C-alpha cells in the first residue's frame, strides 16, 4: 500500500505553484548557464520560478521570493564565484534550508565556477564575502552564522561540479534528475493496492540497490492476472529516483505485433531514458549502437513488461554490458524459462494474495470500505473461495458487485459458476493460447483428470499416450499454468474452470461425443443415453 511519505509527497505536489526554484547570482550566470538551464526546463515542461519573469512589476521582491520558495517542490542552487557576496542569495539559501528541514524537499547544488570545498568551508571568494558580511552585520551575527550553516549543509549534498566540464551534458543530467523526482512525487499508484509491501521488499533485496559496481538483471513471473505489472509499477515508482535514466516499456509483445518490432521498443528506450524523440532512427543497427553509446555511462533502470519470447530481448539488445555501473534491468514474463534462458540473476515468482489481503481488496472494490457489511459475510467468503487470491479476479468481481444487494450477489455468484467472467478468462487464456498443441492436450488432460494426482503417476499415464509429459509438464510449470507441491500437481481453480470451458468449446454439445468426461453427472448421462439408445434400437 502507499506509504505515509508518498501521501505527504502528493499533498506537497497539490500545494506547489512551481516545480523548481533556482537560486543563482544573476551577474555571474544569468546570461549563460542559468539561461540554458531555464530553456531546458521549458522544453521539458518543467515550470520553474525565474525572478526576472515571474515577479510583478513594482512588487516587493522579498515577499515574492519567499512565496516562490515555499511553493516550489525542488531547489537548484547554482554556486558561483560571487554567490556569497549577494545577501539576497544567502537569504534565499537560508529559506531553502528551512524548507529542506521542514518538508524534506529536494535540493540540487551546482558548483558553476567554484570549488565545492570553498563553498562548504567558506574559503577563497566565499571567505572574502563573509569577512564583509561580518563587518556589515555586526549587530546580527546569528544571521551570518545561519548563512554559513546553510552553505555548508547544501554544499555537502550530492550535486554537479561543472568546472572544466561541458555544461550541456550537466544540464541534461539535472533536467532528468528533476523529471525523475517530479514523476515520483506525482505518482498515480492506486490507493486500492494491497499486499505490496512484502513483495516490494523482496524485489529490492534481489535488486541489491546498494551494490556499487555490478549491473543486475532480475525477472518477475507468475500466472496471468496475478499482478506482475502492478508490482513492477509500484517498484518503479519507489526506486526510479535513484537512477539517472529510467524506462518502463509497458508491453513488449504488443509492440512487436503492432509497431516496428524491436525498433519500436528501442525508440521507446531512447525516448524515455534520454528525454528526446528519436523518430529519425530507421533501422535496428543504428538504434542498437545509439543505446550502447548513450547508456554505457548512465546508471539506468529499464523495465520490460510482458516479454513473450527470449528473441524479443535479444533483438532489443539491452544487455548488462551496455549499461553503466549500478544499472538494473527488470524483465516481466509469464514464462520463467524465458527469464532463465536470458540469464537473469534472480527470478521473483509473484504469489497469490493471502486471505487477509484478498478480503481487504474485495471490500475496497465491492463496498469502498476496509470491512465487510454484515449481511454479506457468507457471500464474501464464497467469492473469496472462488477467486482464490487472484488479484485480477478480485478487482473485476468486486467492481461488478459494488452497489448491488444481497440477492443480486447470490445471483451473480450462481451465474459465475456456470459462466465465468469474460475479462478474467481472456487474460488467463493468453498463456494457454501460447502453448504447442501437445502441451495444450496435457493441460486439458490435467484439468479433467489429474488435479492433485502424484506427478510421477500423471507422467507415466501421459507418456503411455505419447504426450512426452516430462518436458510438457515442465513447460506448464514455467508458464504458471500448473504447480507441483509435495509431489502432486495443483492448479488454480480459475485455470481449472478455463480448461473445462475450453474442452466444452472444442467439442460437440453432446457429452457422449466428448473425448474427456470428468464428472459423475457426465458419466451418468452418457451411460444412461447409451442404454436408452440400445433399448430403442432393438426390434
Measure the CA–CA gap between 324 and 292, rounded to whole angstroms: 10
Task: Provide, rounded to the nearest whole percent, the portion of the chain with pLDDT above 70.
Answer: 85
> Which pLDDT value is given to residue 525?
56
> Which pLDDT value is given to residue 279?
57
* Strand segments (E) across 269-321: 300-304
Whether 466 is catalytic: no
Does some domain include residue 310?
A: yes
Domain ends where: 181, 205, 223? Answer: 181
Does some domain include residue 169?
A: yes
Q: How confident is the model at residue 3 (pLDDT cuts 50, 70, 90)?
A: very low
Mean pLDDT within 391-411: 93
pLDDT of 456 over the 90 cut: yes
* Strand segments (E) across 185-244: 216-221
Question: What are the Cα distances from residue 503, in Å, to 387, 430, 498, 514?
Answer: 21, 16, 9, 8
Measure the CA–CA gap between 445 and 384, rounded to whole angstroms: 26
Considering the domain architecture, whether residues 334 and 460 belong to the same structural domain is answered as no
Does some domain include residue 38?
A: yes
**Higher pLDDT residue, 490 or 420?**
490
Does some domain include residue 120?
A: yes
Per residue in 289-320, pLDDT tens? 888 888 888 889 999 999 999 999 999 988 89
Considering the domain architecture, whether residues 163 and 56 belong to the same structural domain is answered as yes
Q: How confident is the model at residue 57 (pLDDT cuts 50, 70, 90)?
A: very low
Considering the domain architecture, whether residues 131 and 78 belong to the same structural domain is answered as yes
Mean pLDDT within 367-381: 90
Domain ends where: 129, 147, 181? Answer: 181
**Higher pLDDT residue, 269 or 259?**
269
Considering the domain architecture, whether residues 336 and 193 belong to the same structural domain is answered as yes
Q: How confident is the model at residue 112 (pLDDT cuts 50, 70, 90)?
A: very high
Mean pLDDT score of the chain: 85
pLDDT of 341 over the 90 cut: yes
Considering the domain architecture, whether residues 269 and 339 belong to the same structural domain is answered as yes
pLDDT of 343 over the 80 cut: yes
Considering the domain architecture, whether residues 403 and 457 belong to the same structural domain is answered as no
**How many separate domains does the chain show?**
4
C-alpha cell recorded at residue 524: 451418468
pLDDT of 37 over the 60 cut: yes
Per residue in 126-163, pLDDT tens? 999 999 999 999 888 899 999 999 999 999 988 999 98
pLDDT of 12 over the 60 cut: no
Per residue in 484-525, pLDDT tens? 999 999 999 999 999 988 887 766 555 555 555 555 555 555
Per residue in 165-217, pLDDT tens? 888 989 988 998 888 788 666 555 566 688 898 999 999 999 998 877 789 99
Does some domain include residue 533?
A: no
Considering the domain architecture, whether residues 207 and 308 belong to the same structural domain is answered as yes
**Which residue has 548563512 as its cell numbers?**
147
* Least confident segment among 51-60, 76-85, 267-276, 322-331: 51-60
Domain ends where: 399, 419, 439? Answer: 419
**Which residue has 502492478 as its cell numbers?**
230
Does some domain include residue 219?
A: yes
Measure the CA–CA gap between 162 and 170, rounded to whole angstroms: 7
Question: What are the Cα distances from residue 272, in Å, to 231, 267, 282, 477, 504?
Answer: 20, 9, 18, 34, 46
Considering the domain architecture, whether residues 312 and 200 belong to the same structural domain is answered as yes
Strand partners, 108: 76
Judged by phi (left if over 0) then psi (alpha if -120 to 50, else beta), residue 122 lies in left
Inter-residue contact 362 to 195 (CB < 8 Å) = no
> Which pLDDT value is given to residue 298?
85
Inter-residue contact 307 to 333 (CB < 8 Å) = yes
> Which pLDDT value is given to residue 448?
87
Mean pLDDT within 368-377: 89
36 class by beta-carbon count within 10 Å (0-12 exposed, 13-18 middle, 19+ buried): middle
Does some domain include residue 475?
A: yes
- Angle in degrees, 0-180, between the axes of helices 493-506 and 437-445, rounded to the nearest 10: 110
CATH of the domain at 299: 3.40.50.300
Strands 488-490 and 483-485: antiparallel
Considering the domain architecture, whether residues 119 and 211 belong to the same structural domain is answered as no
Measure the CA–CA gap between 417 and 386, rounded to whole angstroms: 9
Considering the domain architecture, whether residues 458 and 383 belong to the same structural domain is answered as no
CATH of the domain at 65: 3.40.50.10140
Considering the domain architecture, whether residues 164 and 277 belong to the same structural domain is answered as no
Measure the CA–CA gap between 154 and 347, rounded to whole angstroms: 40
> Which pLDDT value is given to residue 238?
84
Domain span at residue 125? 4-181
Mean pLDDT within 285-291: 87
Considering the domain architecture, whether residues 437 and 393 belong to the same structural domain is answered as no
> Which pLDDT value is given to residue 454?
96
C-alpha cell recorded at residue 398: 468486486
> Which pLDDT value is given to residue 446?
94
* Least confident segment among 374-388, 409-423, 511-525: 511-525
Measure the CA–CA gap between 332 and 317, rounded to whole angstroms: 16
Exactly one of 27, 92, 202, 314 is catalytic; name it: 92
Backbone angles phi, psi at 181, to 5 degrees: -65, -45
Does some domain include residue 523?
A: no
**Which residue has 545577501 as its cell numbers?**
87
Measure the CA–CA gap between 397 and 354, rounded to whole angstroms: 17
Amino acid at each position: 500500500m502507499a506509504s505515509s511519505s508518498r501521501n505527504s509527497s502528493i499533498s506537497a505536489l497539490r500545494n506547489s505553484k512551481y516545480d523548481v526554484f533556482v537560486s543563482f547570482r544573476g551577474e555571474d550566470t544569468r546570461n549563460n548557464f542559468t539561461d540554458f538551464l531555464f530553456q531546458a526546463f521549458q522544453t521539458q515542461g518543467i515550470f520553474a520560478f525565474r525572478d526576472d519573469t515571474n515577479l510583478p512589476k513594482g512588487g516587493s521582491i522579498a515577499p515574492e521570493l519567499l512565496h516562490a520558495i515555499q511553493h516550489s517542490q525542488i531547489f537548484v542552487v547554482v554556486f558561483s564565484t560571487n554567490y556569497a557576496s549577494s545577501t539576497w542569495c544567502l537569504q534565499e539559501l537560508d529559506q531553502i534550508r528551512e524548507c529542506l528541514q521542514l518538508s524534506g524537499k529536494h535540493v540540487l547544488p551546482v558548483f558553476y565556477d567554484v570549488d565545492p570545498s570553498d563553498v562548504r568551508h567558506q574559503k577563497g571568494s566565499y571567505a572574502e564575502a563573509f569577512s564583509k558580511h561580518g563587518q556589515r552585520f555586526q549587530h546580527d551575527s546569528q544571521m551570518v552564522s545561519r548563512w554559513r550553516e546553510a552553505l555548508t549543509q547544501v554544499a555537502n549534498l550530492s550535486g554537479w561540479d561543472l568546472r572544466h566540464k561541458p555544461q550541456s551534458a550537466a544540464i541534461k543530467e539535472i533536467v532528468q534528475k528533476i523529471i525523475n523526482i517530479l514523476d515520483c512525487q506525482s505518482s498515480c499508484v492506486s490507493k486500492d493496492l494491497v499486499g505490496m509491501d512484502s513483495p516490494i521488499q523482496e524485489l529490492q533485496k534481489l535488486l541489491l540497490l546498494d551494490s556499487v559496481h555490478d549491473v543486475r538483471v532480475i525477472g518477475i513471473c507468475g500466472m496471468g492476472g496475478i499482478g506482475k505489472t502492478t508490482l513492477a509499477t509500484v517498484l518503479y515508482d519507489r526506486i526510479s529516483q535513484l537512477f539517472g535514466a529510467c524506462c518502463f516499456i509497458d508491453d513488449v509483445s504488443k509492440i512487436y505485433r503492432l509497431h516496428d518490432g524491436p525498433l519500436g521498443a528501442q525508440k521507446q528506450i531512447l525516448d524515455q531514458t534520454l528525454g528526446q524523440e528519436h523518430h529519425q532512427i530507421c533501422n535496428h543497427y543504428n538504434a542498437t549502437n545509439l543505446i550502447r553509446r548513450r547508456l554505457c555511462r548512465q546508471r539506468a533502470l529499464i523495465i520490460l513488461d510482458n516479454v513473450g519470447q527470449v528473441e524479443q530481448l535479444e533483438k532489443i539488445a539491452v544487455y548488462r554490458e551496455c549499461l553503466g555501473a549500478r544499472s538494473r534491468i527488470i524483465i516481466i514474463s509469464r514464462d520463467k524459462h524465458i527469464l532463465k534462458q536470458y540469464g537473469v540473476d534472480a527470478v521473483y515468482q509473484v504469489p497469490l494474495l493471502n486471505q487477509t489481503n484478498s478480503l481487504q481488496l474485495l471490500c475496497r472494490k465491492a463496498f469502498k470500505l476496509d470491512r465487510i457489511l454484515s449481511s454479506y459475510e457468507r457471500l464474501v467468503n464464497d467469492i473469496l473461495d472462488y477467486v482464490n487470491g487472484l488479484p485480477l479476479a478480485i478487482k473485476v468481481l468486486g467492481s461488478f458487485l459494488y452497489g448491488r444487494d444481497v440477492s443480486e450477489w447470490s445471483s451473480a455468484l450462481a451465474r459465475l459458476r456456470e459462466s465465468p467472467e469474460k475479462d478474467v478468462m481472456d487474460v488467463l487464456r493468453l498463456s494457454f493460447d501460447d502453448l504447442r498443441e501437445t502441451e495444450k492436450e496435457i493441460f486439458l488432460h490435467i484439468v479433467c483428470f489429474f488435479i492433485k494426482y502424484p506427478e510421477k503417476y500423471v507422467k507415466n499415464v501421459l507418456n503411455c499416450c505419447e504426450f512426452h509429459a516430462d518436458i510438457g509438464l515442465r513447460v506448464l510449470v514455467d508458464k504458471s499454468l500448473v504447480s507441483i507441491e509435495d509431489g502432486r500437481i495443483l492448479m488454480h481453480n480459475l485455470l481449472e474452470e478455463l480448461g473445462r470451458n475450453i474442452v466444452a468449446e472444442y467439442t460437440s454439445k453432446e457429452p457422449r461425443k466428448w473425448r474427456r468426461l470428468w464428472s459423475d453427472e457426465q458419466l451418468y448421462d452418457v451411460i444412461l443415453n447409451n442404454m436408452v439408445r440400445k433399448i430403442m434400437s432393438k426390434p
